[in-house]
C-alpha cells in the first residue's frame, strides 16, 4: 500500500513537472509522509505533521567550490569557496561566513582557511591558514595569515596581521596589523591595534595595550592599562597601574612599579610582603672594569655616614586606608629600624651627592629609599676609620717607644745613683774609721 502511495506521489510530481515547467506544488494530506526509496532502503522523507525533511543516505556535493553551496535564506551558510587560482581547502560555516570574492594564487594564498560563525572570515582575500570560530571572528581579515580566533569577536578587526592567536570573548578584537600576539581570556589584548609579539593570559590582561610590543602578562587584569614595551607581569592584578612604563618586571598579586610611567624596575610582591627569601643572601650584578670609565677613589666616606640618621619607627602606610589618609588605627605595633627618604634626600643634596641615588622619587606621593647604594660609602668609611686607627696606633707606638727610651735612661741614672750611693756609703765608713784611728792616736 505504501509503495502504491509513493508511486502515486512521484507520478503527481512528474506530471506537474511536465505540465508546469515553472513551479512544482504538491500538497500532502493530513499526517501524510512523502518518501523516496528503493525496494529495500528509504532515501528521503517529508513529514506533513512536523514538516521535517529526513535524509537516510549521504549528500554528495560537487567538487567545484563555486557549487554545492548551502544558503540560509539569502545568506551563504555552508560552502568551501576559493579563488579561481587559489589552492582551496577552505571551509566556511555560518551566516555569511567567508565570501565569494576571495582570490589568491598558487598553493598558499587564499587556502586552508576555516571559518565557523556568523561573518567569520567574511572579508578574506588572499589570507591563508586562518582558523576562526565564533561570531565576527577575523571578520575583517583580508591578507593576514596563520591567525587563530576562538570566541565571539576575537580578532574581529584584523586585516593583515599574521600569526596571532586570540582565545576568548573579544580577545585581540581591535588588532589590525599587529603580528605574533597571543591572547587567552575574555578581553585580553582587546584594544591592541599594531602592537606585536605580546602575550596575554587571563581576563582583561593587556586589555588597553594598543601599540606596545613584547609585553607578557599572566593573570587576571595583569598589565590591563599598559601601553608601554618590554614589560612582564605575573600574578592577579600585577602591573595594573602601568601606563607608558617600560622594561618592568612585576611578580605577585598587585605587584606594581613605583609609578605608572616608571622604567627599568623589578617589583616583587605587594605592600603586604614582609620577607624576601632566597637560598643565597646577595644579588649579583655587572661590575666588569671593561664596562666602566673614570674610575677613581670615592670621595664620600666617614663624614657622609656620620650625617645619616638611623631611625626607629612604626609603619602606618597610607595605602592601608580608604582615601589614602592614615589615622593611626592600622599602625603596626612592632617597631622597625631604617632611614627616612626625605632625610636621605636632604643629606645627599647638602653633600652634592644626588648622583648616589639614595632616593627614588618617580612617584611624588611615595618616595622610596635605596639602602644598597650606601655600601660603597660604608666601605670607604670603614677604611677611613681603619686609617685613623692605624695612625693612632702608630702615634701611640711612637709615644710608648719614647717612654721606654726615657724609662731606660731613668733606670740607668738610678743605677748610677745607686752606685754613687754605695761609693758614698763606703767612703763614709772609711772616713769614720779614719776618725777613730785619729782619735786614738791623740789619746795616746
Q: Over range 164-185, report the average pLDDT.
A: 98
Burial 184-197 (b: 16+ CB within 10 A, else e): bbbbbbbbbbebbb
Instruction: Give the integer Cα–Cα distance in Å for 384 and 297.
Output: 12
Burial 103-132 (b: 16+ CB within 10 A, else e): ebeeeebbbbbbbbbbbbbbbbbbbbbbbb
DSSP 326: -
pLDDT band at residue 99 under the 50/70/90 scheme: very high
Is the distance from CB of 162 to CB of 146 less than 8 angstroms? yes
Domain spans in the chain, listed from the N-terminal domain onward: 2-55, 308-317+335-369
Is the distance from CB of 214 to CB of 232 less than 8 angstroms? no
Instruction: Give the integer Cα–Cα distance in Å for 441 and 444.
Output: 5
Q: How do 42-47 and 53-55 pair as beta strands? A: antiparallel
Q: Over range 60-67, report the average pLDDT.
A: 82
Q: Is the pLDDT of residue 18 over 90?
A: no
Query: Coil, strand, or helix at residue 193?
Result: coil
Instruction: Give the integer Cα–Cα distance in Å for 229 and 209.
Output: 10
Find cell 745607686 and name the residue: 418
Q: What is the largest CA-CA distance in the chain?
A: 206
Query: Coil, strand, or helix at residue 306?
Result: helix
Over pLDDT 90: what percentage of the chain?
Answer: 68
Quote the pLDDT of residue 13.
45
Is the distance from CB of 174 to CB of 194 less than 8 angstroms? no
pLDDT one-digit tens code per residue, 349-387 = 999 999 999 999 999 999 999 999 999 999 999 999 999
Number of helices (H) and strands (E) in the chain: give both, helices first: 4, 22
* Residues whose CB is less than 8 angstroms from the CB of residue 209 and which lie 6 or more positions away in sequence, other chains included: 189, 191, 192, 195, 198, 200, 215, 223, 226, 227
Amino acid at each position: 500500500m505504501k509503495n502504491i502511495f509513493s508511486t502515486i506521489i512521484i507520478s503527481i510530481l512528474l506530471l506537474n513537472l511536465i505540465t508546469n515547467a515553472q513551479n512544482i506544488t504538491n500538497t500532502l494530506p493530513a499526517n501524510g509522509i512523502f518518501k523516496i526509496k528503493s525496494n529495500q532502503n528509504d532515501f528521503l522523507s517529508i513529514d506533513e505533521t512536523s514538516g521535517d525533511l529526513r535524509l537516510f543516505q549521504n549528500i554528495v556535493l560537487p567538487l567545484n567550490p563555486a557549487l554545492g553551496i548551502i544558503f540560509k535564506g539569502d545568506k551563504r551558510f555552508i560552502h568551501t569557496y576559493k579563488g579561481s587560482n587559489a589552492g582551496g581547502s577552505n571551509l566556511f560555516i555560518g551566516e555569511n561566513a567567508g565570501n565569494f570574492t576571495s582570490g589568491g594564487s598558487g598553493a598558499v594564498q587564499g587556502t586552508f582557511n576555516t571559518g565557523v560563525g556568523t561573518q567569520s572570515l567574511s572579508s578574506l582575500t588572499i589570507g591563508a591558514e586562518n582558523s576562526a570560530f565564533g561570531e565576527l571572528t577575523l571578520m575583517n581579515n583580508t591578507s593576514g595569515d596563520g591567525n587563530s580566533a576562538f570566541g565571539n569577536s576575537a580578532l574581529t578587526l584584523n586585516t593583515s596581521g599574521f600569526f596571532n592567536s586570540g582565545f576568548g570573548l573579544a580577545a585581540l578584537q581591535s588588532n589590525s596589523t599587529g603580528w605574533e600576539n597571543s591572547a587567552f581570556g575574555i578581553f585580553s589584548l582587546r584594544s591592541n591595534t599594531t602592537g606585536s609579539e605580546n602575550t596575554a593570559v587571563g581576563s582583561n590582561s593587556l586589555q588597553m595595550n594598543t601599540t606596545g610590543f613584547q609585553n607578557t602578562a599572566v593573570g587576571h587584569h595583569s598589565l590591563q592599562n599598559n601601553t608601554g614595551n618590554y614589560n612582564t607581569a605575573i600574578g592577579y592584578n600585577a602591573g595594573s597601574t602601568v601606563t607608558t612604563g617600560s622594561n618592568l618586571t612585576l611578580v605577585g598579586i598587585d605587584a606594581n612599579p613605583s609609578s605608572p610611567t616608571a622604567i627599568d624596575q623589578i617589583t616583587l610582591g605587594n605592600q603586604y610582603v614582609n620577607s624576601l627569601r632566597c637560598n643565597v643572601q646577595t644579588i649579583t650584578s655587572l661590575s666588569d672594569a671593561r664596562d666602566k670609565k673614570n674610575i677613581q677613589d670615592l670621595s664620600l666616606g666617614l663624614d657622609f655616614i656620620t650625617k645619616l640618621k638611623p631611625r626607629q619607627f612604626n609603619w602606618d602606610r597610607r595605602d592601608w586606608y580608604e582615601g589614602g589618609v592614615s589615622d593611626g588605627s592600622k599602625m603596626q605595633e612592632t617597631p622597625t629600624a631604617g632611614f627616612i627618604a626625605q632625610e636621605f634626600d636632604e643629606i645627599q643634596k647638602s653633600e652634592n651627592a644626588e648622583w648616589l641615588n639614595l632616593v627614588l622619587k618617580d612617584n611624588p606621593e611615595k618616595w622610596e629609599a635605596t639602602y644598597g647604594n650606601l655600601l660603597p660609602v660604608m666601605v670607604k668609611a670603614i677604611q677611613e676609620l681603619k686609617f685613623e686607627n692605624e695612625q693612632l696606633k702608630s702615634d701611640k707606638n711612637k709615644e710608648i717607644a719614647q717612654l721606654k727610651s726615657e724609662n731606660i735612661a731613668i733606670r740607668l741614672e738610678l743605677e748610677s745613683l745607686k752606685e754613687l750611693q754605695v761609693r758614698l756609703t763606703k767612703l763614709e765608713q772609711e772616713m769614720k774609721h779614719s776618725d777613730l784611728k785619729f782619735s786614738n792616736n791623740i789619746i795616746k
